[in-house]
Structure 1
Amino acid sequence: MTIHLRSDRAVFRFSGPDAHRLINDVVTGEIPTEGDKAAAWALLSPQGKILAEGLAGFAEDALWLDVHTSVADDFLKRMKMYRLRAKVDIDDLRETHRVGFAAEPAHLAHQDRRGPVSLGYRIIAPVEATIDWSTDDTAYHTARIANGILHQGNDFPANEAFAHDIGLDILDGIDFAKGCYVGQEVVSRMKHRGTARRRPVIVSGVDAPPDTPVIAGGRDAGTIGQVVDGKAVAILRLDRITDPSAATVEGKTVELSLPAWATYQFGDSVPSED
């Protein structure tokens, strides 16, 4: 079995009697206390923008969270601040452990399942156990892009997108039943007022760098993320896409399609929050 190294991910271990409460109280997702399934989550700013996102899995009496390397320092700093007097040990494993992707479980493994989308297993292992891992993570990104899954750092920067923008409300990345967490008011308002106007859209036939605008109806509808084999996921304004066959990127016509899990449609408009 091949394990593909995801070199752009950093992993942190949270342990201690208050570890679950700490994480559950500050991130969007339903954080597990058992089982081999990882939970999608996001750490938000008070304004509801994503500061960090990833997966959380329980194993060996601890919670294991991964984030993009570009936000790892800020994530660690914020979690230490939120910890206050809670009995939680936060271990920064960037020097000792690596994150990988595989079709089957190995080492410390959690199912990477987001709503109906299965992306195999997230693998965590000590550095010395990763010598034989493949350094080509194209297979992972090909799979997630085909399923319309966005990743911070690859597709959008910190403090720019809302949780609804990347579909966390549909992909089981938001626990709407639990109490308050940072940014919860914005998430709740977008759900109950139906004001999510930007959503993930798969863009095919792309020959342009990430962050290039998608033009629809003569207007900028959003930008593409990481491009793999001519495909990318973009966060686009649905109300600006009345004819998905007429969209362009750098003047070239591209194909827009919705992920299979989408509950939204091209042309959807939302009520004003004013």
Structure 2
Amino acid sequence: MPLITLPDRTCILVTGPEAEDFLQNILTLDLQTVGTDDARPGALLTPQGKILFDFLISRVDGGFCLECRSDIAADFARRLMMYRLRARAEIALQDECVVQVSWNEESASSPEDSAVLDRRFPEGTVHRVYDADRTTSATREDWTAYRVAHGVAESGSDYELSDAFPHDVLLDQNGGVGFKKGCYVGQEVVSRMQHRGTARRRVLIADSEASLPASGTPITADGRPIGTMGSSSGGRGLALVRIDKVKNAVDRDVPVLAGETSITLSIPAWARFDFPQSPSSED
């Protein structure tokens, strides 16, 4: 089973008698869906519904562990403190947290008793551990390739914070948004997108016979921008694109390009949305 340490990830602990109620009232996901062996995706949004911070959350004794990018962790912790008000919850940045990930193509037993399942992936295939430092057996390129093949997007490499809605990066598809829970920051905008079916940007899997260009490279059709490249490994990558524009290009047999590289775009196998059937407007 491949294993890698992710030095650019760290943890924030939120503990205390009111930790769950506090987080449930501000985060996108429904914490009641987080089991004892789960690491589930979620986000803290702006009031306008854009993703301000993304993370994976799991249960610990007395509260929760929020795993996020190291470079945003201090700002994330400060924002949580701002929302805490009088809630009986403690927020602590774990500067020395070691984040390790192991994965396999088929369900496998946990490599550590303390491992949690990354629920963005097929059940049982990806484990995350926060209290061990084992010898690694894989490279970052290996992990990127596996993540890309499953259509799992992360901020920084696949989209910019404060620029994407949860629907854009498939949080509505992988349990990162609780549509039946109560209010949270940005909830009105996200609910409106869900009920009206207005999500037009989506993360898709990009495939090419050539190596794909760097993250941030424009994706075009007919010379017009329709999205940007995200992470890639060889000829496979992630792309955040307007799916109506992609459908329009496919229907007219117009090449879709990432920079100068021809690509084909597909919906991740686990996702439940489809390409729109009506023609795209030119806006």
Using structure 1 for the length normalisation, give the TM-score: 0.89
The match for 1:22 is: 22
Q: How is 1:3-152 mapped onto 2 (pairs within 5 angstroms)?
A: 3-32=3-32, 34-94=35-95, 96-103=96-103, 104-106=110-112, 108-114=114-120, 119-125=125-131, 129-130=132-133, 132-134=135-137, 136-152=139-155
Identity of aligned residues (%): 36
Does the Cα contact within 8 Å between 2:57 and 2:66 map onto a contact in 1?
yes
In structure 1, the partner of 2:107 is none
Structure 1 Cα separation of the partners of residues 279 and 120 of structure 2: 25
Q: Which residue of 1 aligns with 2:259?
A: 250
Distance 1:36 1:49, change over 3 A: same
**Given the alignment of the two structures, is residue 237 of structure 1 paired with residue 242 of structure 2, yes or no?**
yes
The CA distance in 1 between the partners of 2:49 and 2:8, in whole Å, is: 24
Q: Secondary structure at the match of 2:205?
A: strand
Letter matched to residue 258 of structure 1:
I
Structure 1 segments, 4+ long, off by >4 Å, are 115-119, 267-272
Equivalent position amino acid for 1:38 in 2: A
Code of the aligned partner of 2:273: Y
Q: Is the 8 A contact 1:217 1:240 kept in 2?
A: no
User: What do residues 232-272 of structure 1 show as CA deviations (whole Å, max 9, x unaligned)?
Assistant: 21111011112447211122211212111233334556999
Shift, 1:207, TM fit:
2.7
Matched, 1:197 2:206: no
Are 2:206 and 2:236, in contact at CA under 8 Å, matched by a contact in 1? yes
Residue 161 of structure 1 aligns to a residue whose secondary structure is coil
| Contact kept in structure 1, 2:2 and 2:138, CA below 8 Å | no
Gaps of 5+ in 2: 104-109
**Structure 2 CA distance for aligned equivalents of residues 213 and 117 of structure 1:** 33
**3-state DSSP of counterpart to 2:11:** strand
Question: TM-score, normalised on structure 2?
Answer: 0.87
Contact 2:212 2:234 in 1 (8 A): no
C-alpha displacement of 1:134: 4.8
In 2, Cα distance between the equivalents of 1:270 and 1:178?
A: 34
Amino acid at match of 1:213: P
Q: 1:134 to 1:98 in 2, by over 3 A?
A: farther
**Candidates 252, 273, 279, aligned match of 1:264:** 273
1:209 match = 214
Q: Using the alignment, how far apart are the partners of 1:114 and 1:108 within structure 2?
A: 18
239-248 or 148-157: which moved more? 239-248
Structure 1 vs Structure 2 CA RMSD: 2.3
CA–CA distance in 2 between the matches of 1:75 and 1:269? Answer: 40
